[in-house]
Amino acid sequence: MQENFSLICVFSSILGIVLSYLSTKVERNEHLGAKFPATLADPDVWKATNKKMAHFSYIVLLIFGFVNLIFYLSNIAKVYSLYSFAFLSITFMVGTVYMYFYSESLLKKKKMQKSQELSIDDPKKCSSLNTFLRKVKKRKESK
Extents of the domains making up the chain? 2-142
Q: CA 44 to CA 50: how far, in whole Å? A: 10
pLDDT (average), residues 12-27: 85
pLDDT at 77: 64
Tell me the average pLDDT of the chain: 82
pLDDT at 99: 93
**pLDDT tens across 70-102, in order?**
888 887 766 777 788 888 889 989 999 999 999
**pLDDT tens across 31-53, in order?**
778 889 998 889 899 899 989 99
Q: What is the pTM of this model?
A: 0.69
Residue type, 118: L
Helices 5-25 and 43-73: crossing angle in degrees, nearest 10, is: 160
Neighbouring residues of 81: CB distance < 8 A, sequence distance ≥ 6? 5, 6, 9, 68, 71
